[in-house]
Chains A and B, each alone.
Chain A
Amino acid sequence: MKVTDIVEKLELKVFSGHEGLGKEVCGGYTSDLLSDVMGHAGAGNAWITIQSHRNVIAIASLRDLSAVILTCGEKPADDTVAQSNEEGIPLLGTGLSTFELSGKLYALIG
């Protein structure tokens, strides 16, 4: 399933990184601890988090993650948006909680 498909099915907002919407989503990882994601996320994972600063995109890029999904209505900082566009990594958002979105994504692709 591609990032565009999960955007549509989970009704996510696309903040930036449109260039990467065709990336394949292979599973997901839910965490707000950056070292946890660094060490344990898998390539192609969609990363679900409330962290909205630009280091999140750096990590997503370094670990070849397919997208970052901000939960609880969290809005990205301006430099996070810029970095996401630069790296072509979709930065998505939802008003749902981390728990709810993780459950929905799991039901979709888990």
Chain B
Amino acid sequence: MAMNFEYRVEGGDFTHAGYASSQVKKMLKQLGVESTVIKRVVVCLYEAEVNIVAHAWNGVIIITLDADNILMKLTDNGPGIADIELAMQKGYSTASPEVREMGFGAGMGLPNISANADRFVITSEPGRGTSLEITINLNGNAV
């Protein structure tokens, strides 16, 4: 049986950035998922969540959890990404000076997701928004 959870994310709201990641972490911990797997989920979800806050206008996170996998779907309304290959490069960032000053905007978010996900699909429509699908295998130790 699959479980679904939904979270809303507002662009520019750094105060609540990481809320969904923290809720999902608690849930996986309760389900007894291995800490190395939780770590990878948290890295992916936090980076994706912060990207909506830092780069988009608003978005929705849908988490689907079944016995084998966690699927994290993040869909935002925002400027989108014109050149995904470029955006995926380590160090590439269009973050504002204010955001960089906070220590975000190192251009390591998408590479971090890529390194920690078992499956990562990113699509974007410039001028409209961006969608991410991140899957991590739970090694059969949840739900």
Q: Is the beta-carbon distance between B42 and A55 smaller than 8 angstroms?
A: no
Interface of B is mostly: helix
Given contacts A34-B106, A35-B47, A39-B115, contact A58 B39 (CB under 8 A): no
In the bound assembly, the distance between CA atoms of A38 and B25 in angstroms comes to 14
Query: What's the least CB distance linking A35 to chain B, in Å?
Result: 4
Could you tell me the distance between the alpha carbons of A61 and B35 in the complex, rounded to whole angstroms? 13
Q: A10 near B: Cβ within 8 Å?
A: no
| Binary CB contact string for chain A from 39 to 79 against chain B (1 if under 8 A, 0 otherwise) | 10001000001010111101101111000000000000001
Chain B: minimal CB distance from A23 (Å) = 15
* Residues of the B chain whose Cβ atoms lie less than 8 Å from the Cβ of A34: 50, 102-104, 106
17 A-B contact pairs sorted by A residue (CB < 8 Å): A32-B103, A33-B106, A33-B108, A34-B106, A36-B106, A38-B47, A39-B108, A39-B115, A43-B35, A49-B103, A53-B102, A55-B14, A55-B103, A58-B22, A59-B46, A61-B22, A63-B42
The residues of B with any CB-CB pair to A shorter than 8 Å are 14-15, 17-18, 21-22, 25, 35, 39, 42-43, 46-47, 50, 102-104, 106, 108-109, 112, 115-116
Q: How many residues of A contact B (CB 8 A)?
A: 21
Q: Which 8 A-B pairs have the closest CB atoms?
A: A35-B108, A58-B18, A33-B106, A34-B103, A39-B112, A51-B103, A35-B106, A62-B42
